[in-house]
Amino acid sequence: MSNYFDPFGFTKQTATLLRGLGASELIVECKKRNISTDVLHELTVQELIMLGTDSKKAEELKNCLNIRKRRSNIVITNVEDRIEHFLEIIKDAEQQFCLIQAFMAYCRLRLVKEKINIFIDPNKCLSASKVLPIAVAATLTELEEVNKNLSELNELILRLSRNKMDGGAYGGGKAGAPFDPIAFIQRPQVILRAVCLLFAIIVFGCISNKGYIEKPDGKDVCLYNGDHNACNYGIGIGVLAFLASIGFLAGEYLFEQMSSVKTRKHFVLLDLGFSGFWAFLYFVGFCYLTNAWNKSETPENNYGVNNVQSAIAFSFFSIFTWAACAWFAFQRFKQGTDAAFAPSYEADPVGGTGYTSYPDATDAGYQEPPFGQQQQQQQQQQQRMPDFRAPAY
């Protein structure tokens, strides 16, 4: 037998190991020197260089073949730790087997109670071993669809819960809840306040920009039939509406952080009163400006006509926006009062039927209150005791 088949020398295992490490050039030299696999693992870098490889390759082979060094880094655990680890693995496997068993029972129930045609083609002849995987695949598909529908339903519920105005007192959320900017922007009150803010800018901006015309004598005359009160009124309600809209937007931001119910109530009442009053002022301003513009003459070259008409139009639109703000404030106030006067206990579904009679009572219609016997005994003892008389001095 040649050295190539010597079990204690160079073998096919040694040659395969060298080929796998990319050192096929060392096979001839190792075979000539009859270097076994065990000896190959113990060679140093200098010895590998002497076998015919370069220093870099020798270092790589040394790192790959030095098994003892790598084994020394392995942490040897105690027997108790290994037993606990095996017990945890067995428990996890038991849970997984229970889930698999429940899933298989569900698939079997589907096969028994429902028609098999929903899973497979009735024209094909399939064995039971082939039908079950098809049923499992169909069931997994249905479970994925159900999971998708549940996720969509969860998103819908979250969206509705954000828009719903029943989180806390007076339609606000719970105090201390995290601020959600998307839900804040989507609230109807915030949208209406932003619209009111925009309309107010348009009203007083149009009047202050080209609502006056300069006469030859150098005086500025209001285009609303020369009535300076009309221009001042439009600018005044526009500027005040602009400032109020900013204030109410800040209040809407702080409304969720108001922990006091009285503070929320005062804010809602202020919103209700101011919005209703300002809707009325815009109605008066619309009528006032429209009447003054109908009596006025068209200026030369239609100077400021668009601005004047725009101020009248957006004054009309502001009536409805501020009225809508007042309506939402009223709904908040109504919701807060309903919650304040709602009973904190559950009503008796049976009604005031009184106390039930005792089982030993002869008269079923008589209902004796609890502790009645004790009260009667105390009264009898008091009657038996003699009356106390104060001594005469």
Residue-wise pLDDT for 9-55, tens only, equals 788 888 888 888 888 888 888 888 888 888 888 888 888 888 888 88
Residue 322, domain member (yes or no): yes
Asked if residue 44 and residue 181 are part of one domain, the reply reads no
Domain boundary among the residues 27, 52, 72 is at: 72
Query: Does residue 77 form part of some domain?
Result: no
Using one digit for the tens of pLDDT, what is the confidence trace for 240-275?
999 999 999 988 888 877 777 788 888 889 989 999
Do residues 309 and 207 make contact, with C-beta atoms less than 8 angstroms apart? Answer: no
Q: Which of 361, 288, 349 is nearest to 319 (CA)?
A: 288
Q: Residue 252 has what pLDDT?
A: 85
Whether residue 191 sits in one domain with residue 322? yes
Quick one: pLDDT band at residue 66, thresholds 50, 70, 90?
Answer: confident
Residues 202 and 329 in one domain: yes
Please tell me the predicted confidence (pLDDT) of residue 379. 63
Looking at residue 357, its pLDDT comes to: 47
pLDDT, the chain, mean: 75
* Cβ neighbours around 219 below 10 Å, total: 9
How many CA atoms lie within 13 Å of 258's alpha carbon, on the beta-carbon side? 21
Mark whether 319 and 186 lie in a shared domain.
Answer: yes
Q: How far apart are CA 377 and CA 314, in angstroms?
A: 84
Whether residue 351 lies inside any domain: the answer is no
pLDDT tens digits, one per residue of 309-322: 899 999 999 999 99
Q: Which domain holds residue 17?
A: 12-72
Phi, psi of 214 (to 5 degrees): -90, 125
Angle, helix 228-255 to helix 305-340, in steps of 10 degrees: 40
Residue 133 maps to a domain:
no
What is the tens place of the pLDDT at every residue in 78-121?
A: 677 778 878 888 888 888 888 888 777 777 776 666 555 555 55
- 185 lies in the same domain as 45: no
Q: Which two tokens stand for residue 320?
A: 């409805």
Alpha-helical regions (H) of the chain? 12-20, 27-33, 37-41, 45-50, 55-65, 67-72, 79-113, 128-163, 181-185, 188-210, 228-255, 261-295, 305-340, 372-384
222: left (phi over 0), alpha (psi -120 to 50) or beta: beta
**Is residue 152 one of the residues assigned to a domain?**
no
Asked if residue 302 belongs to a domain, the reply is yes
Q: Tell whether 320 and 182 lie within a shared domain.
A: yes
Domain annotation covers residue 222? yes
Residues 205, 335: one domain?
A: yes
Q: Are 194 and 321 in contact (CB under 8 A)?
A: no
Tally of domains within the chain: 2
Return the top range by mean pLDDT from 54-68, 176-190, 269-283. Answer: 269-283
**pLDDT exceeds 60 at position 349:** no
- Residue where a domain stops, chosen among 72, 95, 116: 72
Of 72, 91, 117, the one marking the end of a domain is 72
Would 378 be classed as within a structural domain? no
